[in-house]
Amino acid sequence: MNLPNRLTIFRIVLIPVIIFIYLFPYASFGIEPAVFTFAGIRLSSVNIVTLIIYVIAAFTDFLDGQIARKRNLITTFGKFADPIADKLLTTTMFLLFAGKGIIPIIPVIIMVSRDIVVDGCRMVASVNGKVVAAGMMGKLKTVLQMVTIALVLLNNLPFEAWGLPVSELMLWFSAFVSVSSGAQYFSQMKEDIFESK
């Protein structure tokens, strides 16, 4: 297995680590995570540690793509696993936030539904021997989602200090781009989807 694919798998492995740190019942074990204040905004050390691990995971997404293209190590596995790793990472984070009531559930449902439809389309295309790699809109969607997640973990800092709901706006914009990119994938694969023999 080449380095880009190993980085993709490493990104997947970091997901349960993030879940453990973010959801661990610290109070039940008598642990009180440190809380820092920036510009009057409180930020838990749990969020900071989660953010660091999340940034490492997100960086591997950039790194594996760069290495694969530079060294000509693009593989069918990479085309298949890389977008799945991205979706697992971003969807997990959004579900964690929604579960704690930090963000609204509707945009999360929209993005998860889009991913299900796109993955279904990819499965149909794969029957015809086609592997559909992520397009530009899909990559933009992923970048927007990753930035949004970082802002949520930072409690919308620094924008919260100015009363600007940037993280929430980014969340809804991510949902909009998600739907748009999903429509693009559907358009590319509609011949396979509606093929009749």
pLDDT above 70 for 46: yes
**Mean pLDDT, to the nearest integer, of 34-43?**
91
Here the CATH number for the domain that contains residue 165 is: 1.20.120.1760
For residue 62, name the pLDDT band (cuts at 50, 70, 90): confident
Question: How many angstroms separate the CA atoms of 73 and 69, rounded?
Answer: 6
**Mean pLDDT, to the nearest integer, of 86-98?**
95
Q: How many domains does the chain have?
A: 1
Question: How many angstroms separate the CA atoms of 100 and 98, rounded?
Answer: 5
Look up the domain containing 74 and give its range: 3-193
pLDDT above 80 for 196: no
